[in-house]
Amino acid sequence: MSDPYQPGAGEMTATVIVNAPVERVFAAFIDWPSQSEWIPFTTVRVVEGDGGEGSLVEAVTALGPAVLRDELRVVRVDAPYEVRVVHEGKVLRGPGSMRCTPMTGGRTQVVMHEWLHLPGGAVGKLAWPVLWPGSKLSFMGALKRFGRMVEQGRLPA
């Protein structure tokens, strides 16, 4: 695989503060099937392994006739602080991470970072600035929803 941190890759970072302890936030995040509840139009399931290191997770996003299948390989779990994945699908490829940092008052800072290779070569690189604002908005919205669900006690399941 070529260097995922090359110029031209699509990069997104989102941060949220969750009013819940780090252990609960982390447990909610790595409950892969429950991600279907906070990522819009997406169904998530573990297709290989137990959800830990080495597992393969599938996320299928469907909006009308458009369907995007994402395959994520879990490459590192450092509970309750970090999980790293590599997107191995046909369209989405590249590394991602989620880090949980405990804060005072039982709060947790969650930082998600995705660094994706863009399909379509030069055309994909040119299209990224146009597509990025919507992707970033969706990415941040999902993470905020995740935080609210943890705070409400709806996650982890």
Question: Each residue of 38-66: pLDDT tens digit?
Answer: 999 899 999 999 999 999 999 998 888 88
Residue 40 near residue 59 (C-beta atoms within 8 A): no
DSSP 34: G
Residue 88 bridge partners (DSSP): 93
Which residues lie below 8 Å from residue 153, measured CB to CB, with a gap of 6+? Answer: none
Which residues lie below 8 Å from residue 125, measured CB to CB, with a gap of 6+? Answer: 8, 118
**Tens of pLDDT, residues 127-151:** 555 554 457 778 899 999 999 999 9
Question: Where along the chain do its domains lie?
Answer: 10-151
Residue 74 near residue 51 (C-beta atoms within 8 A): yes
Written as one string, the DSSP assignment of 58-91 is: EEEEEETTEEEEEEEEEEEEETTTEEEEEEESSS
**Structure token digits, residue 109:** 């800072």
- Summarize the confidence of residues 113-118 as an average pLDDT: 82
- pLDDT interval class at 7 (50, 70, 90): very low
Cis, peptide link before residue 7, omega less than 30° from 0: no
Phi, psi at 14, each rounded to 5°: -135, 140
Global pTM reads 0.86
Which residues lie below 8 Å from residue 152, measured CB to CB, with a gap of 6+? Answer: none
Is the pLDDT at 4 greater than 90? The verdict is: no
Helix/strand/coil for 4: coil
CATH of the domain spanning 10-151: 3.30.530.20
